[in-house]
Chain A
Amino acid sequence: MRRILNGWLPIYAVAYIVFLYLPIVFLPIFSVNTSPVPQFPIADFTLKWYRDLPRTPALLDAAWNSLVVGVSAAVLSTVLGICAARAITRYRFPGRRAVNGLIMAPLVLPEIVIAISMLLIMLQAGLSLSLFTVVLGHILVCIPYSVSVLTSGFEGFDRSLEEASADLGETAFGTFRRVTLPMVAPAIISSLLVSFTISLDEFIMAFFLAGTEATLPVYIWGQLRFAAKLPSVLALGTLMLAGTFLLLTIAEILRRRAARRAQTAGIALA
């Protein structure tokens, strides 16, 4: 049994990874193809589709909308996440685990159900659909990610570090600036980047809550109806993919750095 597994496991693993990532590899390949129809082998190499992107006003609007929504959602979900993560890591209060569970729940709930319920509630509340409503939806989606990144950064943050700073003559504000902030900054930046990325390519919430102002994913969805527009969508998709990959890599590096710092500070206590 073990030998069969040993032989087949690598093959299975490779097949699995190919199945997952092959389509993504095709995206950049087709985006530099002169032919508007995605096919192999590619007709000829061109950057035409990329050059056309900045000349599409609707696309620029959508990109701007996505940026506004992404930054707002990232900042707000990180601020809320800081409060939640600090409470979860520092205090022992009744219902702590339940609260943590509720914060994480949107990760596994069907997003379309949440989107529809949010739409209903916002309309009932008399809010007109706009980028603002999209931001509200995205905060809900981003918070679980923010909280988990921040919790791992705050965990083990030794309270005596702040006391040591005060003991050495530093004021409360100085302590925040010289100890607390540098200690948790990597986790905060990481949370901002992750939330921004999630918001940037989130489709369902944006689709239901955006009204007339499309974000990038909603714009792309609209373009897919026109076969001739496919290559520029592929080019745009490739750029988003590259950007996402970059941001998430930076975020993960920062998160690990924050977690390592907090751990070494707490080692002596353990």
Chain B
Amino acid sequence: MIDIRNVTRSYGTFKALDDAVLSIREGEFFSLLGPSGCGKTTLLRMIAGFDNPTSGSILIDGQSMVGIPANRRPTNMVFQSYAIFPHLNVEQNVAYGLKRLKLEAAEERRRVDEALAMVSLSGLGKRGATELSGGQRQRVALARALVMRPKVLLLDEPLSALDKKLREQMQVELRRLQQAVGITFILVTHDQYEALAMSDRIAVMFGGRIAQVAAPKEIYQRPVNRQVADFLGGMNFIKAEMVEESGDAIVVDTHGFGRIRTERPRSTLRPGSATTVGIRPERLRVLWDDATASHEVAGTVVERHYFGEITHLIVDVPGLEKPLSVTETNDFGADDLPIGATIRLGYDPDALVAMAD
């Protein structure tokens, strides 16, 4: 559907986007995730036609977009600032792009009403652009883009200006809307939870390069390197050495966790080479009383942080160079564990993932 072929965008010697290769499928909710300056917005703007690749090409539906200006591309965008035309009312904003299509008045009316209904703004058509709340402005921006029936809808950090509650509500609505209209959505965001909650697939980007493209679950559970792992939430990194390989699996030796068999990371590892394995804090669970697990480590609680529904424990394990982060739900009393207590932690070896540094 959308093919990004070796796209590079440089400003002088600085490469905002470096040899990006990406293929986005039809009807997919795709997210470009990364910290500010990682090139995600640059890529989105090049798909929209506001910027051009220094080299490489972008294809939409098999058609090269080289030399095609923004106003003739089958894409529409929801801007970070929403860019609602302040001199027009809601209806006129939504109908803005339709005017050029020279539709019959009744047909135009019908499409505007349909778009407004889609974003739950029916009845607000006559409202002035200056009289809208942040959430309403966002909906107008969505309706204005969707009414054009684009092949691809581009969303540039569309939720970043909203407060937390509204943002979470809009995440659900956007996802539902995308499934209803079946249009390909490309979302740019720096919020990992937003990307994980909404996307079919995510591309994680750093410093102008695409680090990993995968479904949310895989990105979260099987990050290809420490940077990706770190950006998507807490991760305990443990030094390890590869001792054996067999097909897609490798066996590594760790200090605290002993010998583990795990999936081979994408990087080229050889027996004997040093690597890192990681485990998410919520995949380690406190073993109370006589409970046992197939795999266990023991340690001492050195810090305890209370977060309401969960408690965050820092547990010192002999042999590990850094203490482990553990998040534990509070239903068994993790919030009452005394500092200095000796506890056992159980884990599933599949939760350990080997990755490149």
Contact = CB atoms under 8 A, between A and B. Distances in A.
Nearest to B100: A169
B82 A268 contact: yes
Contact of A264 (B70, B79, B130): B130
Contacts of A268: 80-82, 134, 137, 161
Nearest to A165: B96
Interface stretch (A99-107, A108-116, A155-163): A155-163
A268 B139 CA distance: 13
Given A169-B100, A265-B86, 9 more contacts: A161-B85, A164-B83, A165-B96, A167-B77, A174-B100, A178-B96, A264-B86, A265-B81, A268-B161
B71 interface: yes
Interface centre among A179, A265, A266 (most CB of B within 10 A): A265
Contacts of B48: 167
A62 to B, nearest CB: 40
B161 A168 contact: no
B85 A169 contact: no
Nearest to B130: A264
Contacts of B129: 264
Interface of B: 48-50, 69-72, 75-77, 79-87, 96-97, 100-101, 129-130, 134, 137, 144-145, 148, 161
Nearest to A171: B71
B70 A167 contact: yes
Contact of A168 (B76, B81, B87, B137): B76
B69 A183 contact: no
A14 interface: no
B87 A164 contact: no
A158 B84 CA distance: 10
Contacts of A260: 130
A24 interface: no
A169 B48 CA distance: 11
Given A160-B81, A161-B85, A166 B148 contact: no
A265 B84 contact: yes
B86 A167 contact: no
